[in-house]
């Protein structure tokens, strides 16, 4: 299809990491897979662009921001920084890193939306959904628990029960909002839908052509969604896709539908385009050159869980909006750890950052490469295998070639002409096409196998040539140089083949032989006549203690998180630190009369605002019920966003003598604990307390 000597224009994407959490080694399977493919294409001399982005919208981010008392923008900015730090740690080579909460994304979403409207694909329908009155939000399924209408099991998820039944959250018996613990009410709201069925014929043709998808994936779509017009059951109708959410929602408001927002799955994949647009602006290119150009290929790398979105909605949207369709969607399986599903609770959902503290990114890149094929099978991270594989293959076989021969030619460099090596170099060069095909088809495991077979031929060559004996005889100096020239060339050839996986090793090899590795074609011609630098260690062996240290740390993180969650949820942990009492020792004994002098009252915050010029203060208006209002300046600016405080009940000192402050009169104090700054924790009464009630 594509001749190897033809320069291709390739746009590659990986799934956009969600801004609601850290990157773990499961994510890294896909990101490393994508990065290897991108580096491979560049090495082959193709023009390859990898625009990437955080995925930032949706209810989950909104809820999290509220819970943490800060803005969504703060939450996603922090996630963005954390994600990119991890990606750089793993040597991922993306060209642009955007955000789905960007101007570019809003713009492209708007343009695509308009074409969908104009094409008559959008329709409105009323949807009944559970609404949490206290939290003031509609509840996505996962934010509701209740009793299964079928088997009456209690405490089941909003859309399915462990008995296997699926239902709508509105059918739940005794539904409870997991946000507030209150009983939500059913409310009807207008939603916007895309009538995907209008694109049925196109989607069948596109998914079943055999060009764009792995056969299992095409099969899955046919069996599940599209049906088969030639079968007994016939074609199935594609359901309408609900792409709007009513306010409040963190996302983009739909321009022609005020109060409604695009569902995160509408704007997330458009983030691929928006990130490309950002890159184009910086580099003076036209977006259409990538996204509306038949000569440009588009490749998506995704996990099998999001197949549906990328193989039906996404091509449907692109088609309707006049953009290029994906050339290929590459779907991969999940990561298991030591044969089991990753578990945050058990601490086997290793964070990328935790891994990087203890281990070399190259090791994981190689290990994943050696396991990844073109199928959807899950791959397993087994640390014993990981250690032996990296040590035996990379250090023992590949790097060893350089480490056992480079120092013999440090002073003389490589021979001027490439010596007779019995055809080793040439046959390994011939294997290059097969290795390249394996990379191209995402069969990295096959590529690694082929490369290691070559390494298994190179080491015996050195063994038989015995350079360490040649060294002893000054008359055999040129023979020694020749043997090492062969060994180093075989080594360099392997490193070129491995360079998409191990960019770091490629760079060090370039430095050793004073000829940087920049192109796949360098594997076809031996390097001669260059000087050879002093050999330095290129890759460290993996030590068991480092693996153990990472496992321990991850386990400790998991336990700490679990303990924190439990303390918060049930206050059932009595192993609290003694530090606060040390920081602030007990005050002098007081009498009940002393205490009664202080009039503590439940109050509701009815307004909260920033005070211009104040560094620490927020201005609060507190209601004690009826028309009793108090104005209070509280030093909690660093810990709370004003919007999150409104409506909240707190405990205040109501009879405190008013005090004239720089910004106005303060008529009381809100009770809070903590040392100050960001560490301030307001006191709140339990549910049922009423503003104005005295605290005894």
Partner RNA sequence: GGGCCAGUAGCUCAGUUGGUUAGAGCAGGGGACUCAUAAUCCCUUUGUCGCGGGUUCGAGUCCUGCCUGGCCUACCA
Task: Return the residues of window 106-165 that contact RNA according to CB under 7 A.
Answer: 127, 140-142, 158-159, 164
Task: Give me the 432-451 binding string for RNA, x by CB under 7 A, dash otherwise.
Answer: -------------xx--x--
- Asked if 527 contacts 492 with a C-beta cutoff of 8 angstroms, the reply is yes
* Candidate residues 219, 427, 478, 673; the one interacting with RNA per rule CB under 7 A: 219
Contacts of residue 542, Cβ cutoff 8 Å, sequence gap at least 6? 359, 360, 363, 386, 387, 390, 391
* Candidate residues 111, 134, 377, 546; the one interacting with RNA per rule CB under 7 A: 377
Is position 210 an interface residue for RNA (rule: CB under 7 A)?
A: no
Closest C-alpha to 332, from 373, 293, 376, 297: 376
Q: Which range binds RNA by CB under 7 A, 111-119, 212-220, 575-583, 649-657?
A: 212-220
Q: How far is the CB of 273 from RNA (least distance, A)?
A: 19
Q: How far is the CB of 261 from RNA (least distance, A)?
A: 12
Q: Which range binds RNA by CB under 7 A, 306-314, 432-440, 567-575, 688-696?
A: 306-314
Between residue 493 and residue 532, which ones bind RNA under the rule CB under 7 A?
none
Closest C-alpha to 87, from 272, 301, 352, 354: 352
* Candidate residues 10, 16, 18, 316; the one interacting with RNA per rule CB under 7 A: 18
Is position 16 an interface residue for RNA (rule: CB under 7 A)?
A: no
Q: How far is the CB of 374 from RNA (least distance, A)?
A: 9
* Candidate residues 541, 555, 629, 648; the one interacting with RNA per rule CB under 7 A: 541
Torsion angles phi and psi, residue 90, rounded to 5: -95, 10
DSSP helix/strand/coil, 70: coil
CA distance 456 to 450: 10
CA distance 463 to 332: 40
Interior/surface letters 194-215, b for 16+ CB within 10 angstroms, e for the rest: bbbbbbbeebbebbbeeebbbe
* Candidate residues 12, 48, 194, 264; the one interacting with RNA per rule CB under 7 A: 264
In the complex with RNA, the residue whose CB is nearer, 305 or 599, is 305
Question: Residue 633 is encoded by which pair of tokens?
Answer: 């300046």
Q: How far is the CB of 535 from RNA (least distance, A)?
A: 8
Determine how β-strand 296-303 pairs with β-strand 9-14. parallel
CA torsion angle for 579, 583, 586, 592 (degrees, to 10)? -100
- Asked if 362 contacts 389 with a C-beta cutoff of 8 angstroms, the reply is no
Is position 308 an interface residue for RNA (rule: CB under 7 A)?
A: yes
Half-sphere exposure of 281 (CA within 13 A, CB side): 9
Q: Which residues on neighbouring strands pair with residue 471, listed in sequence order? A: none
Q: How far is the CB of 398 from RNA (least distance, A)?
A: 9
Q: Which range binds RNA by CB under 7 A, 78-86, 111-119, 490-498, 533-541?
A: 533-541
Is position 306 an interface residue for RNA (rule: CB under 7 A)?
A: yes
Torsion angles phi and psi, residue 335, rounded to 5: -100, 130
Is position 391 an interface residue for RNA (rule: CB under 7 A)?
A: yes
In the complex with RNA, the residue whose CB is nearer, 426 or 544, is 544
Element holding 381 (H helix, E strand): strand 379-381
In the complex with RNA, the residue whose CB is nearer, 197 or 521, is 197
Between residue 313 and residue 342, which ones bind RNA under the rule CB under 7 A?
333-334, 336, 339, 341
CA distance 134 to 182: 7
In the complex with RNA, the residue whose CB is nearer, 237 or 609, is 237
DSSP helix/strand/coil, 683: coil
Q: How far is the CB of 226 from RNA (least distance, A)?
A: 9
Closest C-alpha to 27, from 95, 98, 89: 89
Is position 166 an interface residue for RNA (rule: CB under 7 A)?
A: yes
DSSP helix/strand/coil, 229: coil
Is position 459 an interface residue for RNA (rule: CB under 7 A)?
A: yes
* Candidate residues 118, 305, 433, 679; the one interacting with RNA per rule CB under 7 A: 305
What are the start-end ranges of the E strands in 221-356?
Answer: 227-228, 234-235, 241-242, 244-246, 260-262, 296-303, 328-332, 335-337, 340-341
Q: How far is the CB of 646 from RNA (least distance, A)?
A: 25
Is position 183 an interface residue for RNA (rule: CB under 7 A)?
A: no
What are the Cα distances from residue 149, in Å, to 132, 142, 159?
20, 17, 11
* Candidate residues 37, 113, 241, 272; the one interacting with RNA per rule CB under 7 A: 241
Is position 629 an interface residue for RNA (rule: CB under 7 A)?
A: no
* Candidate residues 463, 473, 559, 609; the one interacting with RNA per rule CB under 7 A: 463
How many residues contact RNA, by CB under 7 A?
86
Is position 171 an interface residue for RNA (rule: CB under 7 A)?
A: no
């Amino acid at each position: 299809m594509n001749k190897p000597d033809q320069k291709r224009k390739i746009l590659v994407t990986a799934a956009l990491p969600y801004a609601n959490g850290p990157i773990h080694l499961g994510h890294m399977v896909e990101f490393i897979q994508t990065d290897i493919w991108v580096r491979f294409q560049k090495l082959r001399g193709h023009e390859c662009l990898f625009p990437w982005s955080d995925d930032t919208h949706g209810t989950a981010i909104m809820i999290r921001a509220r819970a943490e008392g800060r803005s969504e923008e703060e939450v996603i900015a922090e996630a963005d920084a954390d994600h990119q730090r991890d990606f750089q740690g793993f040597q991922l080579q993306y060209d642009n890193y955007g955000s789905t909460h960007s101007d570019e994304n809003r713009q492209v979403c708007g343009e695509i939306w308009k074409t969908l409207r104009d094409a008559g694909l959008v329709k409105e329908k009323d949807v009944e959904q559970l609404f949490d009155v206290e939290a003031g939000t509609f509840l996505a399924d996962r934010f509701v628990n209740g009793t299964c209408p079928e088997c009456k099991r209690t405490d089941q998820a909003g859309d399915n029960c462990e008995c296997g039944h699926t239902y709508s959250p509105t059918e739940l018996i005794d539904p409870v909002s997991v946000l507030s613990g209150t009983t939500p009410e059913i409310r009807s709201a207008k939603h916007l839908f895309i009538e995907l069925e209008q694109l049925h014929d196109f989607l069948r043709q596109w998914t079943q052509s055999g060009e764009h998808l792995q056969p299992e994936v095409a099969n899955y779509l046919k069996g599940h969604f599209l049906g088969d017009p030639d079968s007994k059951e016939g074609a199935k109708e594609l359901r309408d896709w609900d792409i709007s959410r009513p306010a409040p929602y963190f996302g983009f408001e739909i321009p022609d539908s005020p109060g409604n927002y695009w569902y995160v799955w509408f704007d997330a994949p458009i983030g691929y385009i928006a990130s490309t647009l950002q890159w184009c602006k910086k580099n003076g290119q036209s977006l259409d050159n990538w996204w509306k150009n038949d000569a440009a290929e588009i490749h998506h790398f995704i996990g099998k869980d999001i197949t549906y979105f990328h193989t039906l909605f996404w091509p449907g949207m692109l088609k309707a909006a006049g953009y290029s369709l994906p050339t290929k969607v590459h779907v991969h399986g999940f990561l298991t750890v030591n044969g089991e599903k990753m578990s945050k609770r058990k601490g086997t959902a290793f964070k990328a950052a935790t891994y990087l503290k203890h281990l070399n990114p190259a090791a994981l890149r190689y290990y994943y490469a050696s396991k990844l094929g073109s199928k959807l099978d899950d791959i397993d991270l087994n640390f014993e295998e990981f250690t032996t594989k990296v040590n035996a293959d990379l250090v023992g076989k590949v790097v060893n070639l350089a480490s056992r021969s480079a120092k013999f030619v440090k002073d003389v460099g490589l021979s001027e002409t490439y010596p007779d090596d019995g055809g080793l170099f040439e046959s390994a060069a011939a294997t290059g096409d097969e290795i390249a095909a394996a990379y191209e088809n995402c069969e990295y495991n096959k590529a690694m196998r082929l490369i290691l077979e070559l390494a298994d031929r190179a080491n015996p060559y050195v063994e038989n040539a015995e350079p360490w004996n040649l060294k002893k005889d000054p008359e055999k100096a040129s023979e020694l140089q020749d043997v090492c020239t062969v060994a180093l060339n075989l080594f360099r050839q392997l490193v070129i083949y491995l360079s998409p996986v191990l960019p770091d090793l490629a760079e060090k090899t370039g430095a050793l032989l004073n000829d940087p590795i920049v192109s796949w074609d360098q594997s076809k011609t031996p390097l001669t006549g260059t000087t050879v630098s002093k050999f330095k260690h290129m890759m460290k062996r993996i030590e068991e203690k480092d693996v153990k240290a990472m496992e321990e740390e991850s386990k400790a993180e998991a336990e700490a998180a679990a303990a924190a969650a439990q303390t918060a949820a049930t206050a059932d942990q009595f192993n609290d630190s003694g530090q606060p009492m040390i920081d602030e020792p007990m005050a002098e004994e007081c009498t009940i009369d002393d205490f009664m002098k202080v009039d503590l009252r439940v109050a509701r915050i009815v307004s909260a605002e920033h005070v211009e010029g104040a560094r620490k203060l927020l201005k609060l208006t507190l209601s004690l019920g009826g028309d009793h209002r108090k104005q209070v300046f509280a030093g909690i600016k660093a810990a709370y966003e004003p919007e999150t405080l409104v409506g909240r009940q707190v405990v205040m000192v109501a009879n405190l003598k008013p005090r004239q402050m720089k910004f106005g009169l303060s008529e009381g104090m809100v009770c809070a604990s903590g040392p100050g700054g960001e560490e301030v924790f307001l006191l709140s009464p339990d549910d049922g307390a009423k503003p104005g009630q005295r605290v005894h």
